[in-house]
């Protein structure tokens, strides 16, 4: 064959393979047998090898093209990836519909009644796919909604995700959002193979999907049976005229080559939604994938715009979750574990049971009060519950089945919190009026040290990939690590020696020498991941330090407000309270943390070990659109709590005051507002209702 004929054949094969893949993975309607697909793919591979000039990064042969990445780059979402509010009961769905009907002013029932689009909620991992001029250029996880991780190379291996949009004249920019999931058949097949080959099975399809996407080597992801379905749009370039409804958009996405659930319907009124919920619920067990509920969305975009958003969730959509699954099992023992802050949490060791497709043998009891309320004792039959990915918990004890001795007395006494920490033998302190008991051992307590390290290395903190529980346990147990900064001194040899020790202690042949030679690649990767984490941000560092009450959002607010570490170290409690979201309790925790000499020493040691972060200009709330304005909230708000509303207003620069005076610039009046509203009117102060506030917040989100 001559050059032109080869080029034509390459183009034809690519087209044929794309079509076959679309039929198989998207339409679920294969046209050619797998063997024929494989033969065509091999032919294309051979031609491409012979003609490097015909290379095309989006060729069907190139789904696994990228080499393993060291770590995932952050991706700022052009439009935030929101989460959905949840409904767990019919009443909550009725409230959802009633809110919408009220706000839109549409009578119910009747032709003006709003239409909802309804679809199953797949249990997987939310992702965003960006196409530019029809080519898949960037794929990211949701992350915190604002910033996700770049997992493009892994997403390219999922055959249900088109590398090119179908059709002519693709948009300049199109972002498609949806869920990556693992179909049940693929999950079972994967696990059967893993077990037969002495490999680790996946815990459940959802973890399987999430774990597969976070593989550093796309070739590993490619072997995982993942699928995708599209459910929403992100950024779309202005030349695109979108259909007027969500359900029509889904049809349009289908024509572009995306899989869309074929159980999408439209419904009116709460009764229509509940009917859909019941029908999907009845099919749930027979579906070829896991779902954890259904999603209702107001179908018309113009109506969605009227409803707007609260916090990070749309007010025009809701996820109606299936009830948590409950099963009975027996308690073997009641244990306690010690967390990062010394919190002592009781939990039960139980006879293993299956709940929602996962084998469970531990469930949390939360705290001593909860144990007392439930009166759980060893030998009891308990009902446990697991909802979504929440840790299983004990719901109640079946007292009729409690074991008794020959005298008819219960075989076990009521449980009491131990007086000493099971890890370090320090006293456990349980202050009256506080729910949580704490080990007083601080960093003397290995459990607290381990948890601090695990948290420090976790993804949202310093993001040290591979630093899991097993390694952290061994690092602390064998004395390799006392403080967090010690991590940065560890060498490949340290890790290999430590793992050999741990394997031997567990009575296993050291995995590192199984292949007849010492395998060090994993240790090299780990040392590289630790080294890479040296370059971080103030926000991550603050979260990683594990200051009580300082979660990701507060760490971000602190980093923004102060811009650098020193002014934060110098801040007193009053200065800390200027930070949006930081109240008196959190301010005290932060001030105490930084006043502790050993915490200051730990930070200095991190710096000495080369941990660094850029300093940025402080972004004080005084610079927001409400800067310098005093705002007063009065009456009841439906969509936000008072605290949320206060935090959101403060984040935009407002000072939120408790009473109306001449200095007040704005009053937000919820329902049943009383004297403050009267006074505001008297003084001629601007008054907004809740809808106006929400619209303003949405505009400045």
Known catalytic residues?
121
User: Residue 326 has what DSSP assignment?
Assistant: E
Residue 317 contacts ligand I6G per CB under 6 A: yes
Shortest Å distance, C-beta 321 to ligand I6G: 11
Could you say whether residue 159 binds ligand I6G (CB under 6 A)?
Answer: no
Is the CB of 180 or the CB of 445 nearer to ligand I6G? 180
Asked if residues 160 and 182 have their Cβ atoms less than 8 Å apart, the reply is: no
Interaction between residue 350 and ligand I6G (CB under 6 A): no
Q: Least distance from C-beta 253 to ligand I6G, angstroms?
A: 12
Tell me, residue by residue from 250 to 289, as one string, x for binding to ligand I6G by CB under 6 A and - for no binding.
Answer: ----------------------------------------
State which of residues 22, 121, 206, 224 lies at the interface with ligand I6G (CB under 6 A): 121
Give the pair of three-digit tokens for residue 423: 């890890």
Nearest distance from C-beta of residue 278 to ligand I6G, angstroms = 18
- b/e per residue 398-422 (b: at least 16 CB within 10 A): eeeeeeeeeeeeeebeebeeeeebe
Q: Smaller CB distance to ligand I6G: residue 295 or 640?
A: 295
Which residue(s) pair with 75 in the sheet? 148
Question: Which stretch, 119-127, 406-414, 475-483, 484-492, contacts ligand I6G (CB under 6 A)?
Answer: 119-127
Q: Could you tell me which stretch among 68-76, 78-86, 157-165, 405-413 binds ligand I6G (CB under 6 A)? A: 78-86
Stretch that binds ligand I6G, among 82-90, 127-135, 354-362, 620-628 (CB under 6 A): 82-90
The interface region with ligand I6G, picked from 23-31, 80-88, 406-414, 550-558 by CB under 6 A, is 80-88
Of 120 and 257, the one with the shorter C-beta distance to ligand I6G is 120
Distance (Å, rounded) from C-alpha 592 to C-alpha 564?
Answer: 19
Binding residue (CB under 6 A) for ligand I6G from 17, 82, 161, 216:
82
Residue (of 145, 131, 166, 153) closest to 19 by Cα position:
166
Residue among 187 and 231 whose Cβ is closer to ligand I6G? 231
- The two beta strands, 291-298 and 317-321, are antiparallel
Nearest-approach distance from CB 261 to ligand I6G, in angstroms = 8
Of the pair 126, 502, the CB lying nearest ligand I6G is at 126
CB 243 within 8 A of CB 252: yes
How far apart CA 401 and CA 381 sit, in angstroms, is 6
Question: Which CB, 261 or 533, lies closer to ligand I6G?
Answer: 261
Q: How would you class 397 by CB atoms within 10 Å of its CB: exposed for 0-12, middle for 13-18, buried for 19 or more? A: middle
- Using the contact rule CB under 6 A, the part of the chain among 81-89, 187-195, 439-447, 652-660 near ligand I6G is 81-89
Q: How far apart are CA 106 and CA 112, in angstroms?
A: 6
Does position 119 interact with ligand I6G (CB under 6 A)? The reply is: yes
Residue closer to ligand I6G by CB (options 234, 346) is: 234
Nearer Cβ to ligand I6G, position 231 or 495? 231
What is the per-residue burial (b if ≥16 Cβ within 10 Å, else e) of 549-570?
ebeeebbbbbbbbbbebeebee
Beta carbons of 117 and 260 less than 8 angstroms apart: no
Q: How many residues at the interface with ligand I6G, by CB under 6 A?
A: 10
Helices (H), 308-428: 368-374
Radius of gyration of the chain (CA): 28
Shortest separation between residue 269's beta carbon and ligand I6G, angstroms? 20
Q: Residue holding tokens 């706000």? A: 103
Measured CA to CA, the distance from residue 680 to residue 666 in angstroms comes to: 8
351: Cβ contacts below 8 Å, ≥ 6 apart: 329, 330, 332, 361
Using DSSP's 3-state secondary structure scheme, residue 330 falls into strand
Q: Tell how far CA 408 is from the center of its chain.
A: 49
Give the x/- contact pattern for ligand I6G in 219-238, rule: CB under 6 A.
------------xx------
- Are the C-beta atoms of 561 and 578 separated by less than 8 Å? yes
Which residue from 10, 13, 26, 84 is in contact with ligand I6G, where contact means CB under 6 A? 84
Please report how close the Cβ of residue 92 comes to ligand I6G at its closest, in angstroms: 17
Among 20, 44, 126, 222, the residue binding ligand I6G under the rule CB under 6 A is 126
Q: Which of residues 457-496 bind ligand I6G (CB under 6 A)?
A: none
293 touches 321 (CB < 8 A): yes
Complex with ligand I6G: residue 298 or 334, whichever CB lies closer: 298
Rounded Cα distance between 480 and 488, Å, is: 11
Q: Which residues bind ligand I6G (CB under 6 A)?
A: 82-84, 119, 121, 126, 231-232, 295, 317
């Amino acid at each position: 064959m001559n050059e032109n004929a080869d080029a034509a054949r390459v183009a034809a094969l690519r087209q044929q393979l794309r079509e076959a893949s679309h039929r198989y993975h998207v339409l679920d309607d294969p046209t050619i047998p797998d063997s024929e697909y494989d033969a065509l793919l091999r032919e294309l591979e051979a031609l491409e090898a012979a003609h490097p000039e015909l290379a095309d990064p989006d060729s069907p042969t190139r789904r696994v093209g990228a080499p393993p990445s060291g770590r995932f780059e952050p991706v700022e979402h052009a439009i935030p990836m929101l989460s959905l509010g949840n409904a767990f009961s019919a009443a909550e769905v009725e409230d959802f519909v009633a809110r919408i009907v009220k706000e839109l002013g549409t009578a119910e029932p009747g032709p003006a009644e709003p239409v909802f689009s309804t679809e199953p909620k797949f249990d997987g991992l939310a992702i965003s796919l960006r196409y530019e001029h029809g080519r898949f250029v960037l794929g990211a996880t949701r992350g915190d909604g604002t910033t996700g991780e770049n997992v493009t190379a892994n997403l390219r291996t999922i055959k249900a995700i088109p590398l090119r949009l179908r059709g002519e004249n693709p948009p300049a920019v199109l972002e498609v959002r949806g869920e990556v999931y693992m179909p049940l058949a693929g999950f079972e097949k994967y696990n059967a193979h893993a077990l037969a080959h002495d490999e680790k099975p996946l815990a459940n399809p959802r973890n399987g999907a999430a774990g597969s996407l976070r593989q550093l080597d796309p070739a590993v992801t490619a072997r995982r049976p993942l699928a995708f379905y599209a459910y929403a749009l992100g950024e779309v370039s202005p030349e695109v005229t979108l259909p007027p409804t969500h359900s029509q958009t889904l049809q349009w996405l289908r024509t572009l080559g995306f899989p869309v659930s074929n159980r999408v319907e439209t419904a009116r009124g709460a009764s229509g939604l509940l009917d859909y919920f019941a029908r999907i619920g009845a099919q749930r067990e027979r579906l070829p994938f896991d779902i954890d509920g259904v999603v209702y969305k107001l179908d018309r975009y113009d109506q969605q715009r009227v409803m707007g958003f609260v916090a990070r969730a749309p007010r025009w959509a809701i996820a109606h979750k299936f009830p948590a699954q409950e099963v009975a099992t027996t308690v073997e023992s009641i244990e306690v574990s010690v967390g990062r802050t010394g919190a002592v949490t009781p939990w039960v060791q139980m006879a293993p049971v299956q709940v929602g497709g996962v084998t469970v043998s531990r469930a949390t009891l939360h705290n001593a009060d909860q144990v007392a309320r439930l009166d759980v004792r060893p030998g009891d039959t308990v009902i446990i519950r697991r909802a979504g990915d929440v840790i299983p918990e004990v719901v109640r004890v079946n007292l009729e089945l409690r074991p008794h001795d020959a005298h008819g007395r219960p075989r076990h006494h009521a449980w009491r919190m131990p007086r000493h920490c099971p890890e370090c033998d320090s006293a456990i302190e349980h202050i009256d009026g506080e729910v949580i008991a704490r080990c007083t051992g601080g960093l003397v307590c290995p459990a607290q040290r381990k948890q601090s390290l695990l948290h420090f290395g976790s993804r949202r903190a310093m993001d040290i990939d591979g630093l899991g529980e097993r390694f952290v346990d061994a690092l602390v147990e064998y004395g390799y690590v006392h403080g967090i900064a010690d991590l940065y001194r560890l060498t490949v040899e340290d890790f290999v020696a430590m793992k050999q020790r741990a394997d031997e202690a567990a009575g296993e042949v050291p995995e590192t020498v199984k292949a007849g030679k010492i395998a060090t690649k994993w240790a090299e990767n780990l040392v590289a991941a630790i080294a890479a984490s040296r370059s971080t941000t103030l926000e991550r560092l603050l979260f990683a330090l594990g200051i009580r009450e300082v979660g990701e959002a507060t760490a971000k607010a602190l980093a923004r407000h102060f811009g650098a570490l020193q002014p934060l170290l110098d801040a007193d409690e009053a200065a800390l309270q200027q930070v949006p979201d930081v109240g008196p309790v959190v301010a005290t925790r932060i001030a105490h943390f930084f006043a502790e000499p050993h915490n200051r020493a730990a930070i200095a040691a991190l710096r000495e070990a080369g941990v660094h972060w850029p300093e940025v200009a402080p972004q004080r709330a005084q610079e927001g659109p409400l800067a310098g304005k005093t705002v007063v909230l009065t009456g009841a708000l439906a969509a936000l709590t008072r605290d949320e509303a206060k935090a959101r207003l403060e984040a935009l620069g407002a000072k939120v005051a408790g009473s109306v005076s001449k200095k007040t610039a704005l009053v937000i009046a919820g329902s049943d507002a009383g004297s403050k509203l009267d006074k505001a009117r008297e003084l001629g102060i601007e008054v907004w209702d809740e809808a106006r506030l929400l619209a303003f917040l949405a505009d400045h989100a």
